[in-house]
Amino acid sequence: MMKMGVHTLATIAILALASLLTYASDPSQLQDFCVAINDPALFVNGKFCRDPMLATANDFFFPGLNIPRSTANSLGSNVTLLDVTKIAGLNTLGISLARIDFAPYGLNPPHTHPRATEILVVVEGIIYVGFVSSFPANRLFTKLLYPGDVFVFPQGLIHFQFNVANTTGVTFSGLGSQNPGLIVIANNVFGSNPPISPDVLTKAFKLDKNVIEFLQKEFYTTT
C-alpha cells in the first residue's frame, strides 16, 4: 500500500510538472537574474548568462523611450522593441516592452507574435485595433481606443493597430516574452527568401498569377 501511495504521488507530481511546462511561455529563472551574453559559436534556447557578480545597473537600463521615432515610411508607423537584444537583463525574465509611433492614419500592419501575449495602452491618438481568432471561427475582435485605454492581443493571433486620427499616435505594449518574435503576414508570405512558388500563392489566395508575382516583387524588395 505504501509503495502504491509513493507511485501515485510521483505520478501526480510528474503530471503537475508537465501541466506547468505546457502552460509556460518563457522558462522561469532559477536565480535573481541572468544577464545575457552572446556566444556566436553556440546556440541555445535563450541566452547564456554573465557572471552575476559582473552585472551592473546598465544591464537593466535603456534610455530615451520618451523620444518620438520617425514614421516617415510607407506604413506611417515605427516600432521600438526593447527585448533581450536591447536590455540584456531581460534574459529569463519573460517580458519585453515596445513603443509604437504612428503618423496620422499610420498603420502597424497585421502581424503575430508567436511567443507572446501583448497588452497595449494608448497614450496619444485614436487607435483602431483588432485581432482574429484561429480557424475555424476566424472571429474578428475590434475596438476603437482612446488615450488611457488598454487592449490585449492573445499570443500567436493575427492583430493590427491603425491610428484613425489626423494627429500623431503613441502606444506602449508589454509582451510576455524576452523575445516575442514577429511575423508580418504580408511580408512573410510575399517577401520570403527564397520566394514561395507563385503557383502555391495563386491557388491559396485565389488571385491572378501576375498579381502574385507583382506582390512578391514589391515585398521582396522592401523587406
Q: What is the mean pLDDT of residues 41-46?
A: 73
Question: In terms of residue numbers, what domain contains 116?
Answer: 57-181
pLDDT at residue 38 in the model: 79
One domain for residues 95 and 155: yes
Q: Decide if 127 is inside a domain.
A: yes
Q: What is the pTM of this model?
A: 0.84
Which residues contribute to the annotated binding site?
108, 111, 113, 118, 159
| Residue that has been written with the C-alpha cell 535563450 in this structure | 46
One domain for residues 104 and 140: yes
Q: Decide if 35 is inside a domain.
A: no
Which residues contribute to the annotated binding site for oxalate?
108, 113, 118
CA-CA-CA-CA torsion for 211, 214, 215, 219, nearest 10 degrees?
180
Alpha-helical segments (H) within the chain: 2-23, 185-190, 198-205, 209-220
Q: How many domains does the chain have?
A: 2
Q: What is the mean pLDDT of residues 44-67?
A: 92
pLDDT in tens, 162-197: 999 999 999 999 999 999 999 999 999 999 999 999
- Enumerate the β-bridge partners of residue 160: 130
pLDDT at residue 144 in the model: 98
One domain for residues 124 and 61: yes
Q: What is the mean pLDDT of residues 44-50?
A: 83
Which residues contribute to the annotated binding site for Mn(2+)?
111, 113, 118, 159
The CATH number that applies at residue 147 is 2.60.120.10
Q: What is the mean pLDDT of residues 126-138?
A: 97
